[in-house]
Amino acid sequence: MSLLLTVTGPDHPGVTAALFDVLAAHRAQVSDVEQVVVHDRLLLGVAVHGYEDEPALVTAVAARAVELGVEVECTALPGSARDEAGLRHHVIVLAAPLLPAAFAGVARRLAGCGVNIERVLRLSSFPLAAYDLLVFGGDTARLRTELAAEAVAQEIDIAVEAATLWRRARRLVVMDVDSTLVQGEVIEMLAAEAGCTAEVARITACAMAGKLDFETSLRTRVALLQGLPVAAVDAVRAQVRITPGGRTLVRTLHRLGYAVGIVSGGFTSITDDLVADLGLDHALANTLEVVDGRLTGGLVGPVVDRARKAEALREFAALQRVSMAQTVAIGDGANDLDMLAAAGLGIAFNAKPVVRAAADAALSVPFLDAVLFLLGIPREEVEAADAADAADAVDPPPHG
């Protein structure tokens, strides 16, 4: 027979130590411990066995609880409540704000899948609420299907990831560029400089409707840029803006020792600047052909299409000596589907419906650093690291 001791009340130093002193005095063996503090209120659960005199133990714990100003409930445990070899998942819920009805809907879906919530950890309160639910049981595919439906119904974002060793490992994160790492589509900005916006938009629409494959649509659009001076390309480079949260995401990933790369159906004239600016580890994009200071309307080398993006992800992983299970891919369009499928975690960022449906996780918020929550990284830790770096920059530590 085992006992579960559930301790609740105001938190203050010494509570845990005093209660464990009682358990030690009665020779109890600890089989499980969970503790959390929520707004200065303590919740401590301790499962014990092996004690000799249960009534004496319960009486002693209750007396010490009174002295400490907390309450304790003792519940008999008949034995192992479940198979501990079962699969755990991290379910990340993001919303702004997160309403009780939405949380209830998520909990209902989990219960319907035969899943139990073991722990809830707050990752962020502002500018959006983010919570990490560690859950036990259930099938990964079914969980993603059920929770994706609830995400649509509640207008929130939900991600499901198996709680495996890979979640704690060093990772490679690879992003699409246009409408992911940077705002907008560079080809459209170049078209505006060349005065062919309408023609480029028409071709793009045909590609999105499935009437043209990506390579054909890209080569056709680039051909319309023939004669555009390099100075106009430089003007577009100056207009490119990194998506809010993009710098924070890359900076934080590098602090963790992760490698960060980009793969783009766009152009090296843009990605080269991003590599230099953000210190990216890998990059692949298309190269616009230039002769005598003007675009020829052609490309140099093979086109970076959806298959090439997935291939690049594998190449980058090999260079970093990480398994594909340790890779994360982020994108928004159909050209990213193969890459998202190949990655250990594929994230759709403000993506088309077909991409959201195919990805492991989907984000609809405008902040790219929300990806950090899907990796289990709390906002408070990111801000603390930024503050420490800022303090070091003002008053650098002495060198020995």
Residue in 132, 157, 176, 332 annotated catalytic: 176
One-letter amino acid for residue 320 of the chain: Q
Residue in 11, 132, 157, 178 annotated catalytic: 178
Determine contact, residues 200/221, Cβ cutoff 8 Å. yes
Q: How far apart are CA 240 and CA 246, in angstroms?
A: 13
Active-site residue flag, 178 = yes
Determine contact, residues 244/370, Cβ cutoff 8 Å. no
Active-site residue flag, 332 = no
Determine contact, residues 155/114, Cβ cutoff 8 Å. no
Give the CA angle between residues 309, 357, 349 to the nearest 5°: 60
Catalytic residues: 176, 178
